[in-house]
Structure 1
Amino acid sequence: MLKKMGLGAVIYLYISFVNLSFSKAKAYPPGDIHPDKNQSAVCRLVVNMILANNYKKVAINDSLSVLVFDRYLKSLDENHSYLLAVDVAAFDQYKTLLDDDLQSGNLAHVFGMFNVFKMRNEERLKYALTQLDANYDFTKNDIYVPDRRKLPFIKTEADMNLMWNQRVKYDLLELQLSSPDIAKNRETLKKKYQNLLDQSAKTSSQDVFQLFMNAFTASVDPHAAYFNPFNASQFNVGITRALEGIGATLALSNEYVTIKSLTPGGPAYKTKLINPEDRIIAIAQGKDGDFQDVTGWRLDNAIALIRGPKGTIVKLKVLAKGKSASDEPLTVEVVRDKIILEDQSAKQEIRTYKAMGKNVKIGIISIPAFYFDHVAYTAGDRNYKSTTRDVKLLLDTLKQHNVDGIMIDLRGNGGGSLNEAVSLTGLFIKSGPVVQVRDVDQHIQVNQDFDPSIYYNGPLAVLVDRTSASASEIFSGAIQDYGRGLILGSQTYGKGSVQTTVDLNKVALKLAGQNKTNADTGKQDQFGQLNVTIGKFYRINGSSTQHKGVVPDIQLPSFIAPSKYGEDNEPSAMPWDTISKTDYIPVGLLNKVVPVLNSQYQKRSQTIAAYQAYSNEVKAYQDNQGPKTISLNAQAFKHTRDVNAKKALDRDNKLRVAIGLPALKKGEVKAKTDDLDFMKTEGAQILTDYIFLDKALFGINGPSYYPEGKTAN
């Protein structure tokens, strides 16, 4: 990696690192947060490594400075609830200076901005505390605007006070609907606001530096990232998610602790009540513990409450995705556990469908990630785990059950090992190219499957959605290019880049002429780590998976709107492009069958009640952006909540009844069930149609993509 940086870059970094010892710290007012002794050097190190090594090349200039400024300001006060317009106007002087600051390691401006935000944040919380004893009239028709992201920053302190009066009244009203005890509700809010003040007081220079580095790396490349020492350890442990207690990846989104993904088989997943994009608003310990409101908390402090010893209980108050802040939260009890690797592995199931008076068995293999236990492999462990090894065993099981076709479910699979994507593809094709990779020097390498054997040669489908990314797109793209199987679902994420992790401590030691590790020197991690993009993926047909992803042969409705999630929504994402195709021979004749299959699917979707009910669910979810304004009249507030809850229940019950499930009663909790997994159900149905259509086109035994291959039958 360092060799690619060039001698000039190495010398500059070394001088920057050494000069740190002699730099004089800027004087900051008492109570302000200021950079620590290493951060100026780390800033220069990160900038120069991004310049020298990142696949996407950018100039550190005024244009980039504006992008970094906007991202950093958004990270401070995305909801425009703390900073005044005059504060933001004062910050404008830094818009075209941050590029110079990045290269010189000057952090005075960004720390100054943060200290102003910190002051305003604490002012607002202290003001909120003074308003708790006010006599609020819940019969008046006041309104509150919870989402201020598209509104201008508030101009005057009087207007800011008015907005916060409304926020306090709204917070009290929410509690009031659950409990009429106003004194208790005021005490609950007092604890919430005081907790937020306490969190602000605990903010460290590492927090501020991380925010600024995030703004910089994301402005260059959405997949480049800096991790300070704490976050570096979190990132590395987070690969296994073993310490999160409930098996969930969390992020802070607009003051809410938000669930971004669930570990398959983990404690949260097993409750069948928690989903990605749900928001955790309160946490309690044990069955009888008191809830602590964590809205607006630091993410690491909220995680600390969620973590705990295996077997202990944590209770969560959760606002489901699509619900507004005025809706009733769901209380979920989770038994903490260490995440077991087996629960993160590929799984199989068999579903039976009726077609032309016959039973058709479809084997479904769900793959959560392209995993590979490198440590066990290098240690010579013959039982090392990998996606390909696990899928081979599952295929054996499905063959023994004489399934008629197999569907690979890659929904929610964000990628993983490139080698595993290649070897998994090799189970379904003869030897041949699978993916092309272009590196930072524009050299192109073709990754191939060299094994001429075919492990499964029968009818195949791959189910994807907008969260299928990276290695998932390599696999599904290759299957599509070869015509080996149907691609079903929704357009994939579009992440066509590959990253590597750089330990900045090792880099700094090398630059200082010390070929030692932190363990050798006895020093702790001081500089963190950097993820840089080092290559770009291309399909064997020459098309990049970047930005566009993989477009299914037959598209199914999905709750995830492509216009709001995916690589093409990232302003700093690399563009789509093409290179020359490789030499490969398509083996399927899917261009003949896809139009017929799509026609059959469209006919079902227009005539069967379950399809209409599911489409209504999807449309309602995508249309539900939450109310722009909330009435602070108690009667109107409760009426709106009740009406929204009834509409949601009616939609759910129409779908449940249409597929043969009992309707839910008001207040009854809806648990997860595969019967409501429309994409999986319909994907397997389309594969069933494909099998019978193949028999009509190719003969009674179905398609044989390779003459010497054996079908699953």
Structure 2
Amino acid sequence: MIHRRVNSAVTPSIPSASGWRTCAADRHRFLRTLAVMVVALLVPFASGALAKTQEVGLAELFPDERQARTIVVINKVLERFHYRDFELTDAFAEQVIDNYFEDLDPGRLFFLKRDVDRFARSAPRLDDDVAKGKLDTAFDVFRVYRMRVDARIDHALSLLQEPFDFSRDESYLFNREEADWATTEVELNEVWRKRVKNDYLLLKLAGKDDDAIREQLRKRYKGITRRIHQFTPDDVYQAFVNAYARTLEPHTSYMSPSTSENFDISMRLSLEGIGAVLRAENEFTVIQRTIPGGPARQSGQIHAGDRIVGVAQGLDGEMEDVVGWRLQDVVDKIRGPKGSVVRLQTLPKSEAGGGRMREVSLVRNQIKLEDQAAQQFIIDGPENAPSLRVGVIEVPAFYRDFRAESAGKDDFRSTTRDVRKLIKELKADGVDGLIIDLRGNGGGSLTEALELTGLFIEEGPVVQVKDSFGKVEVEVDPDPAVVYTGPLAVLVDRNSASASEIFAGAIQDYGRGIIIGEPTFGKGTVQTLIDLDRYVPGDDTELGRLRLTMAEFYRISGGSTQLKGVEPDIRFELGLQGVDHGERSLENALPWARIRPARYTPASGFDLERLKRRSAERIKGDDGFRMLIAQGRVLSEIEAQDEVSLSERERRAESKRRDEVLKEQKAAFLRARGIEPVDEDADDVDEEALERQQEIIDRILTEEAARILADVIVERRADERPRAAMRD
């Protein structure tokens, strides 16, 4: 993500509700002033506000005047300032209704088809209603939803009184996003019979006994009802507005006043916790990624794709089942003061069809800037060029200590400053080439992306920014000095996003270095956070905030980084077939586009075909790549799976097969490196050994990138010798 910084002393001029007819130049200046930040939360907020402890009556779930006024303001803001051309039409309103149903009931487990059809008939008037501030349909849908939840949970609890036969040959469609809505109660009852049976089987495979399973599921299902009954009118309103916003584009969202307050709290506390980015997926809370320097990453036991199924406080607190919880409620359980212990019960990604859970104890901590700072090491003598030394600089984020900078401190930390020092150290150590490792780097400061690029090029453009009015501004390298002129490679993966893509794209466009790895995330849009209260001056009513997409990044060659990301010059195929990831996996994402290229002078390129052939030959016999490809295939299989067997025998066999592939390949690789694998399922895991083991695995790709760069260095030196002889 990109953070665009605005001087805190500047207060942007916001047009009032009666002043919509501003000229394009005024609107452009307004948006440029508001081009502040896209906040990269270590712990995200959910679509709802914090759950209340008291039950909200059905008679209270109606819209109020403040919400009516807010939706009018939001609609005007989106029409005037959103990057995507937008008009509230009948067709758009129909999609909003569809998305609202999907957001409330993504598994299609509560609504019946007649409910969906009934409200779909009201969609043609929804655009007019929203324009006038009428929200009756949104609240009518939610009240029906709450009644359907009550009925379904009562049925689920009754199913827990019955025995289950796990020898039957039947399956459960757990991913029901594309399933048809059930047409009858009988049909929905059958869906729930299989759902409850699958929930039971997962816990049985995890080793729980019958009484414990039934008690845990009773608590889980009653918890669903309890949380739905705690939805306030603000929660309902926010859920609807976010369905409305994501119909336009996935990064636009609304925060009610209560959620805005919680957002501010989470920002103040965001660096105190476990250091993990979470997302909601079906009824699970899923680890999206872990943060360098955070307790989750350092434990070596928490990985992207793992599902959190339980949370406990302290060393002996009761483990609470959190399946089916709202994301914000899970976050509240995980978040806590520095130095306190939180225990997570996780279902590893590789155990999607099985049930072997893992309990991990983490000490909440402040994630310090130096823990996320760039670091360097040297790869001595790649196999294909034993005399060479390749320096590697790992850059986990594009950070900049804005607070220290604003305070006038000359020694404030930043990515560029740290990388500059590391380059000097590596040059003093006599490295022949340099790799910048951006794997897992989700972005950060745009200023740092510009300045870091400037370490490797002379003055010139780095990225283009096009706003919602079509105006394009070219962001340039602010410093003409070049710190490193030698052979360069940039290592990226599917989680390299935003500022990482700006840097990698510029290096590729200039021909300054070779890009190696996987296609990047594809996050090429810019968001701003707008306080809606400023649109109604003189009124003390709080309206909340809108996160608005207002610009898009384009490479200096003209193509956007949006959706497609940066395609590496040499691509590592790691067995992840048919898996949508990044921006490409998001509904209503902005399309890739092209504008006029900026003026720049690219260097001569590389003999990519020869480099690719040599790399492919090495990878064929590399035990590390063999392990990664085997893991990728298993994980792709899991990602593609929408249905699971309800036969205990088949589920155990499937889990065993996948486990053997993953563990055997990993163990074979580590033993080939002279390392005894750590037993990750042991009660007392050696976390330091596990972290060292993961570091070795992480360097598989780095080492091949070093060999590729060594090929480049050897070829260039061979080309330079004849030219030098001719000059002599």
Shorter-chain TM-score above 0.5: yes
Does 2:686 align with 1:686? Answer: no
**1:162 corresponds to:** 190
- C-alpha distance in structure 2 between counterparts of 1:562 and 1:431, whole Å: 40
**1:136 corresponds to:** 164
Does 2:308 align with 1:280? Answer: yes
2:90 to 58, 62, 67: 62
SS across alignment from 1:354:
coil
**1:498 corresponds to:** 526
Compare 80-89 and 643-652 and name the one that shifted more: 643-652
Q: Is the 8 A contact 2:630 2:661 kept in 1?
A: no
- C-alpha distance in structure 2 between counterparts of 1:37 and 1:543, whole Å: 45
- C-alpha distance in structure 2 between counterparts of 1:241 and 1:409, whole Å: 28
**2:20 corresponds to:** 9
Q: Is the 8 A contact 2:14 2:534 kept in 1?
A: no
- C-alpha distance in structure 2 between counterparts of 1:360 and 1:239, whole Å: 45
Counting aligned pairs with the same residue, the percent is 36
- C-alpha distance in structure 2 between counterparts of 1:4 and 1:236, whole Å: 25
What RMSD, in angstroms, separates the aligned Cα atoms of the two structures?
2.9
- C-alpha distance in structure 2 between counterparts of 1:606 and 1:396, whole Å: 36
Q: Is the 8 A contact 1:499 1:532 kept in 2?
A: yes
Kindly report which structure 2 residues correspond to 1:389-404, keeping only aligned pairs within 5 A, or say none: 389-404=417-432
Does 2:592 align with 1:576? Answer: yes
Distance 1:96 1:389, change over 3 A: farther
Distance 1:475 1:184, change over 3 A: closer
List per-residue Cα deviations over 1:373-426 (Å, max 9, x = no partner): 333322212222322122222222322322222211222222222222111111
Does 2:697 align with 1:676? Answer: yes
Aligned residue identity for 2:620 = Q
**1:248 corresponds to:** 276
Q: Is the 8 A contact 1:322 1:625 kept in 2?
A: no
For structure 2, the residue ranges without an aligned partner over 5 or more in a row are 1-11, 23-55
Does 2:582 align with 1:566? Answer: yes
**1:518 corresponds to:** none
Compare 472-481 and 490-499 and name the one that shifted more: 490-499
Compare 169-178 and 107-116 and name the one that shifted more: 169-178
**2:624 corresponds to:** 610
- C-alpha distance in structure 1 between counterparts of 2:719 and 2:268, whole Å: 46
The two structures have a TM-score, normalised by structure 1, of: 0.87
Aligned residue identity for 2:425 = T
SS across alignment from 1:505:
helix
TM-fit CA distance, 1:274: 0.9
Compare 159-168 and 259-268 and name the one that shifted more: 159-168
- C-alpha distance in structure 2 between counterparts of 1:233 and 1:345, whole Å: 30
The two structures have a TM-score, normalised by structure 2, of: 0.86
- C-alpha distance in structure 2 between counterparts of 1:691 and 1:456, whole Å: 15
TM-fit CA distance, 1:63: 2.0
TM-fit CA distance, 1:652: 2.9
List per-residue Cα deviations over 1:122-160 (Å, max 9, x = no partner): 221222222222233444445433222222112221222
SS across alignment from 1:598:
helix
**1:595 corresponds to:** 609
- C-alpha distance in structure 1 between counterparts of 2:199 and 2:368, whole Å: 39
Q: Is the 8 A contact 2:17 2:535 kept in 1?
A: no
**1:173 corresponds to:** 201
SS across alignment from 1:442:
coil
**2:49 corresponds to:** none
SS across alignment from 1:429:
coil
- C-alpha distance in structure 1 between counterparts of 2:534 and 2:495, whole Å: 34
Q: Is the 8 A contact 2:467 2:551 kept in 1?
A: yes
Distance 1:101 1:563, change over 3 A: farther
**1:223 corresponds to:** 251
2:232 to 204, 211, 221: 204
SS across alignment from 1:226:
strand
Q: Is the 8 A contact 1:68 1:98 kept in 2?
A: no
List per-residue Cα deviations over 1:540-587 (Å, max 9, x = no partner): 222222232221111112476675123344443333333322222223
Q: Is the 8 A contact 2:350 2:638 kept in 1?
A: yes
2:655 to 638, 641, 647: 641
**2:4 corresponds to:** none
Higher normalized contact order (CA 8 Å, seq sep 6+, divided by chain length): 2
**1:350 corresponds to:** 378
SS across alignment from 2:388:
strand
- C-alpha distance in structure 2 between counterparts of 1:242 and 1:651, whole Å: 37
Distance 1:302 1:611, change over 3 A: closer
- C-alpha distance in structure 2 between counterparts of 1:334 and 1:318, whole Å: 13
Aligned residue identity for 2:708 = I
- C-alpha distance in structure 2 between counterparts of 1:273 and 1:686, whole Å: 31
List per-residue Cα deviations over 1:265-302 (Å, max 9, x = no partner): 11111111112222101111222222111000122221
SS across alignment from 1:9:
coil
- C-alpha distance in structure 2 between counterparts of 1:268 and 1:161, whole Å: 39
Q: Is the 8 A contact 2:634 2:658 kept in 1?
A: no
- C-alpha distance in structure 2 between counterparts of 1:287 and 1:472, whole Å: 39
The number of residues matched between the two structures is: 672
Aligned residue identity for 2:304 = P
TM-fit CA distance, 1:691: 2.0
Does 2:248 align with 1:232? Answer: no
- C-alpha distance in structure 1 between counterparts of 2:60 and 2:444, whole Å: 41
List per-residue Cα deviations over 1:197-220 (Å, max 9, x = no partner): 221221222222222222222222
SS across alignment from 1:651:
helix
**1:214 corresponds to:** 242
**1:20 corresponds to:** none
Q: Is the 8 A contact 1:69 1:95 kept in 2?
A: yes
Aligned residue identity for 1:612 = R
Distance 1:97 1:365, change over 3 A: farther
Q: Is the 8 A contact 1:465 1:490 kept in 2?
A: yes
Does 2:532 align with 1:532? Answer: no
Does 2:332 align with 1:304? Answer: yes
Compare 572-581 and 65-74 and name the one that shifted more: 572-581
Does 2:99 align with 1:71? Answer: yes
Kindly report which structure 2 residues correspond to 1:446-525, keeping only aligned pairs within 5 A, or say none: 446-509=474-537, 512=538
Distance 1:431 1:239, change over 3 A: farther
Kindly report which structure 2 residues correspond to 1:324-473, keeping only aligned pairs within 5 A, or say none: 324-355=352-383, 358-473=386-501
Q: Is the 8 A contact 1:244 1:303 kept in 2?
A: no
Aligned residue identity for 2:186 = A
TM-fit CA distance, 1:329: 1.7
- C-alpha distance in structure 2 between counterparts of 1:701 and 1:452, whole Å: 29
Q: Is the 8 A contact 1:241 1:339 kept in 2?
A: no
2:563 to 547, 552, 557: 547
Distance 1:98 1:360, change over 3 A: farther
List per-residue Cα deviations over 1:224-269 (Å, max 9, x = no partner): 2222234434555656763662111222110111122222111111
- C-alpha distance in structure 2 between counterparts of 1:101 and 1:698, whole Å: 72
SS across alignment from 2:224:
helix
- C-alpha distance in structure 1 between counterparts of 2:120 and 2:153, whole Å: 26
Q: Is the 8 A contact 1:614 1:655 kept in 2?
A: no
SS across alignment from 1:644:
helix
2:142 to 93, 114, 134: 114
Q: Is the 8 A contact 1:5 1:52 kept in 2?
A: no
- C-alpha distance in structure 2 between counterparts of 1:218 and 1:463, whole Å: 32
Distance 1:632 1:598, change over 3 A: closer
**1:705 corresponds to:** none
Q: Is the 8 A contact 2:17 2:73 kept in 1?
A: no
Distance 1:295 1:626, change over 3 A: farther
